[in-house]
Amino acid sequence: MHPARARLCVRETMAVPPHISARSESTVGPWSTADRVAELHDLAILDTEPEPLYDDLVRVAAYVCRAPVALVSLVDAERQWFKSEVGLGTRELPINCSVCAHTIEAGDLLIIPDLTADPRTIENPLVTGAPSFRFYAGAVIRGAQGIPLGALCVLDRAPRPDGLDSDQTATLTALARQISSLLEHRRTLARVAVREAEIAASERRFRVMTAAMPQMVWTTLPDGFHDYYNDRWYEFTGVPYGSTDGTGWNGVFHPDDQERAWARWRHSLSTGEPYEIEYRLRHRDGAYRWTLGRAMPLRDADGRIERWFGTCTDIDDLKRAETEARKLAAIVETSKDFIGLSTLDGAITHLNEAALALVGLPDLAAARRLRIPDFFTDESRRILTETAMPAVRRDGFWEGELTFRHVGTGEPVAVFYNIFPVRDSTGAEIGYATVTRDLRESKRAEEARDLLIRELSHRIKNIFAVVGGLAALTARSDPAAKPFATAFRERLGALAQAHEYVRPHTPESAPAVAGQTVFGLMRLIMAAYEEGGRSRVAISGDDAEIGERTATALALIMHEQATNAMKYGGLSTKEGGVALSGHREAERYTLTWAEAGGPPVTGAPSRKGFGTVLAERSVAGQLDGVLERDWAPGGLLMRLSVPLENLRA
């Protein structure tokens, strides 16, 4: 339309009768103007580009009706907009220029043979001014609910008293219905596009979600056909993408589990019950790992299964941990040691069978009514409170000999008790544990052994006494032998004293060494080897304090060394001797034994005697020291190096 036409329509708006104003709320049938405008906007067709389908229909209408102008006119609230037009030259006009506004109120078809003679159009700007239309025929275009949206119309500049013939009328209304179908098809396509976009977005969200899940995820159709696996499935199994769709999944199950898994899956498909099973799934490295398979049906509003959603969770490590836990539990329950757990405040949470039997408890329920201190005698409870628990809090561990109290008899039960904290996966302390050993049998064995040792020691002392007595008897009968007998008895006495150090001891029978030093012990041990008032073993260098445990071990080693020197080395000849020297350096103490004047040394002995082996074990086991021997031609050189801290033990 020429711009002047549009201005004319706007300028003459106030001259249009009120019943065709955009602001009127006319209602014909079950719809209102508001309903009609809402329906039109829902189609989302206004202001879209021309489309060939609509243009073709408009040309057909113009041709059939022999009209110079044909329009697909959609009537909006303030305007009429043309989806397609032939012969008008504009895409929209103000509502006051609309004849189609009368058509949608008239029914299915409106024909006005002379627009200048109809009161509804006599003052229409398109009639009174250019282009001076005189004839109008329009067929209503309706929406899906029957609401009129506009019209397919034809216009002519000359009146037509006879209107349209029957063929033209039928064609025009048929074309209008076709346009209605096109509009609804457009809406359907738009809704499908929105739905597809929503589905695509949902699919993207689903794939992102399943990609982020640590489990393998799969879905199936209602009949169980597998149609999706997330990347985790392919990463785990190593199979090609798509190769396990359908029923191919069963091939990666362990052969012994396949039939069982199939049976369970078929049961879920037939009943709709959730699917859950443990089976072995082949890993990409070829090993089978235990897996937990689960699936739930997704149902529609009517309860019909739309899909199955499933997961596979690798539980192989958990299964192995459970197996190890069962083994550990079996070990704990069958152990002969007292094994127990408690909370941080000492409340008992578990005792094994051996523990219950040791203290005379009938069952675990009875044990759980007790706390850690309840198991001990008064003295041991004091040690637990004042010594053991502070050590656990400070060092993380404590062990030592304590005494339990038998619940039934009150009998003391000697035990080697230890206690240490139990921690959770974060490292936080959650309780205490103990693995305690019954010492009653070992105590009885120790007492028997000590009795035997004391008996042997007593007999050896008796032998020394008998030999000394024989020497004294000889001296009384032969005054000339008195000096020899006196020296001999002194040597026997020294050997007897040395014997007290080197024989095995219990803590009660060990000789007192308070204030003893290495050199003091060495002089006592070597006193038996003096000759003519002259010491055959010359002691020099740095001295050091020595503890009770170390004194016995060191006495055994040096006594063995002196005995061998008397048999084969520097003390076996009149001219020979030994230089024994001590040296302190940093945190170690070194004792050097150097023989001289004995028989020539040709090399190390071919075998070690029992005493030598025992001495070497004492060095390593009791002193944590180092023993070195150099079989030099001039005489044996032996070095014993011990940590000073161990020397004082």
55-113 pLDDT, tens digit each = 999 999 999 999 999 999 999 999 999 999 999 999 999 999 999 999 988 889 999 99
State whether 35 and 70 are in the same domain: yes
Q: How far apart are CA 418 and CA 400, in angstroms?
A: 7
Mean pLDDT of the chain: 84
State whether 431 and 463 are in the same domain: no
Please identify, among 462, 483, 509, the residue that sits at the C-terminal boundary of a domain: 509
Q: How far apart are CA 133 and CA 456, in angstroms?
A: 146
Query: Can you give the residue range of the structural domain that contains 20?
Result: 3-190
Domain assignment present for 198: no
Alpha helix ranges (H) inside 118-230: 125-128, 166-212
Please give the average per-residue pLDDT across 526-548, as a whole number.
81
For residue 1, what pLDDT band results from cuts at 50, 70 and 90?
Answer: very low
Domain assignment present for 205: no
Please give the average per-residue pLDDT across 317-325, as a whole number.
88
State whether 567 and 483 are in the same domain: no
**What pLDDT was estimated at residue 38?**
92
State whether 465 and 358 are in the same domain: no
Do the Cβ atoms of 75 and 45 come closer than 8 Å? no
State whether 62 and 170 are in the same domain: yes
**What pLDDT was estimated at residue 246?**
87
Please identify, among 320, 352, 371, the residue that sits at the C-terminal boundary of a domain: 320
- How far lies 397's CA from each of 299, 417, 430, 595, in Å? 59, 11, 15, 47
Please give the average per-residue pLDDT across 551-556, as a whole number.
75
Least confident of 250-254, 307-311, 567-571: 567-571
Rounded to the nearest 5°, which phi and psi values hold at 190?
-65, -40
- pLDDT at 456 exceeding the cut of 80: no
State whether 543 and 474 are in the same domain: no
**Tally of structural domains, the chain:** 5
Least confident of 157-161, 428-432, 528-532, 595-599: 528-532
Q: How far apart are CA 470 and CA 353, in angstroms?
A: 62
**What pLDDT was estimated at residue 465?**
63
Q: How far apart are CA 9 and CA 5, in angstroms?
A: 6
Token reading at 458: 């007593």
As a residue count, the chain comes to 649
Do the Cβ atoms of 28 and 112 come closer than 8 Å? no
CATH number at residue 624: 3.30.565.10
Please give the average per-residue pLDDT across 536-547, as a whole number.
87
For residue 23, what pLDDT band results from cuts at 50, 70 and 90?
Answer: very low
State whether 54 and 163 are in the same domain: yes
For residue 484, what pLDDT band results from cuts at 50, 70 and 90?
Answer: low
**What pLDDT was estimated at residue 515?**
53
**What pLDDT was estimated at residue 457?**
63
Please identify, among 190, 221, 241, the residue that sits at the C-terminal boundary of a domain: 190
Domain assignment present for 503: yes
- pLDDT at 48 exceeding the cut of 90: yes
For residue 453, what pLDDT band results from cuts at 50, 70 and 90?
Answer: low
